Amino acid sequence: MKWIFAYGSLIWRPDFAFVDRRRVHLPGFTRRFWQGSHDHRGTPDAPGRVVTLIQDAQASCHGMAYLINDEAVFRALDHREKNGYRRTSVTLHPEQPALAPFEATAWVAEPGNFAYLGEASIREIAEQIATSTGPSGRNDDYVYELAKALAAMGIEDPHIMALNDALRAIATNTEHTENRV
C-alpha cells in the first residue's frame, strides 16, 4: 500500500478508491497556479492554469494524503497528469502530532517542463483563468472548488484566496458590463 499527496483537485474529488486518508502538510513547498493546462482546463492554443508545487523553504503546502492499495491508480494518474507532471517522492507531515512523517508520491510539474507558465501577478493569472476552459470544465470553477475545499478544511492559502477573490471580482464586473448592454 502506498500514499498519494493531494494538493489540487484530488482534495475535493478523488476519483479512486482509497483505504485511508489523512490531513498533512509538505514543508518546503508552496501551491501555485503556475502550470499550463492544455488538456483539462484549457487547450493547446489557449492554455488554462492549474496547480503545481514550487520549492519555498519558508512555506508548507497543506493538503490530503490518500492510502492506495491498487497500482492502477498510479498508472491512471500518470496518464491524467501527462501534461508536464512527473511522479516525485515527498515526506509528508500529518496534522495529527502523534503520527510520524511518512513517504508519499506526488505529481509535480517542475519549472522548465513543456507546459510550464511560471510566475505572474495574481491579476494576470486570474485574467487568464477567467477566459480558459477545457475538456474538464471551466478553469475558474477549478479555483472556486479548490478554495472551497481548503476553506472547509480550515487551510489558509493566500495565493488561492487572492485568486478566488480576483476571479469573483472579474465575474461581477463582467455581469455588470453585460447587464448594461
Just list the catalytic residues.
81
Quote the least distance from Cβ 81 to ligand BEZ, whole Å. 5
Measured between alpha carbons, how far is 37 from 114 in angstroms, rounded to an integer? Answer: 11
Q: Which is nearer to ligand BEZ, 8 or 47 (CB)?
A: 8
Quote the least distance from Cβ 170 to ligand BEZ, whole Å. 24
Cell of 51: 496547480
Q: Which is nearer to ligand BEZ, 111 or 172 (CB)?
A: 111
Query: Site residues (CB under 6 A) for ligand BEZ?
Result: 6-10, 51, 81, 85, 107
The answer to whether 138 and 129 have CB atoms below 8 angstroms apart is no
Pairing of strands 20-37, 86-94: antiparallel
| Inter-CA distances, 181 with 11, 84, 127, 168, 172, Å | 40, 41, 21, 20, 15
Q: Which is nearer to ligand BEZ, 3 or 85 (CB)?
A: 85
Cell of 127: 485574467
Quote the least distance from Cβ 176 to ligand BEZ, whole Å. 33
